[in-house]
Amino acid sequence: MNYTLDFAPVIEGMPDLLKGCLGTFFLTMSGMVIALAIGIGGVALRDSRIAPARWLVRSFVELIRNTPFLVQIYFVFFALPLIGLKLTPTPTAILALGLNGGAYAIEIIRGGVQAIPRGQIEAGLALGLHRAAVFRLVVLKPALRAVYPSLTAQFVMLLLTTSIASSIAAYELTSVAKLIENASFRSFEVYGTITLMYLVMSWMVMRLFRAIQLRWLSYPVK
């Protein structure tokens, strides 16, 4: 079988592919914000004295971690209209990504929180700090420092997971690639190109996280 490579459709569709990259970044960053908020809030609730809150967080984590993301995004896409909340594909994808990333963020951040010595928490309370201030200053920031590599790796995975959002026609790189492939039938050229694009985007996100770590989470230089 003779197959002749033809990247003309890819070159012609490159502006659309680059716009798709922006769509992927938008989904990723929006999902990360929601996931981080769920992660921090979930850790606070999981270690609270309110039993129903602890049970709810544990159930949420187990539900998300033990079901495929494709099923989750379909569930959000088709379930919300049943309760009168109709979202377009892109907001639906952001919500699904945030919920998925949040479940993993809860477990990652909780591991860092549990590593904080109890004596540090007691010292903060002894100094007269409110419990919220102790959690934010004494517990959360050192915990985020400890788990930052794992948390950023999970968020890079979230970027790659955005490709599944094409299943509900959310605007991102893979959905644009599907349109070009359907019109040109140049599957290898299209998907080979977006493979390289995902590699570049992952590298850029990792560099961004490294800059954040150096700016806000690194230890002071003596």
CATH number, position 96? 1.10.3720.10
Tens digits of pLDDT across the chain (222 residues): 678 999 999 999 999 999 999 999 999 999 999 999 999 999 989 878 889 999 999 999 999 999 999 999 999 999 999 989 889 999 999 999 999 999 999 999 999 998 888 888 888 888 888 888 888 888 888 898 899 999 999 999 999 999 999 999 999 999 999 999 999 999 999 999 999 999 999 999 999 999 998 888 876 655
Tell me if 72 is assigned to some domain: yes
Pick the closest to residue 156 from 93, 219, 204 (CA basis).
204
What DSSP string describes 153-187?
Answer: HHHHHHHHHGGGGGGGT-SSHHHHHHHHHHHH--H
Tell me if 3 is assigned to some domain: no
Give the global pTM. 0.92
Q: What's the rounded Cα separation, in Å, for the pair 96 and 70?
A: 10
Tell me if 222 is assigned to some domain: no
What's the structural domain count of the chain?
1
Q: Which residue segment(s) compose the domain that 26 sits in?
A: 8-217
What DSSP string describes 24-69?
Answer: HHHHHHHHHHHHHHHHHHHHHHHTSS-HHHHHHHHHHHHHHHTS-H
Tell me if 198 is assigned to some domain: yes
Are the CB atoms for 27 and 172 separated by under 8 Å? yes
Q: What's the rounded Cα separation, in Å, for the pair 24 and 184?
A: 22
Tell me if 86 is assigned to some domain: yes
Tell me if 193 is assigned to some domain: yes
Ramachandran class of 70: left when φ > 0, alpha when ψ lies in -120 to 50, beta otherwise: alpha
Pick the closest to residue 216 from 144, 119, 133 (CA basis).
144
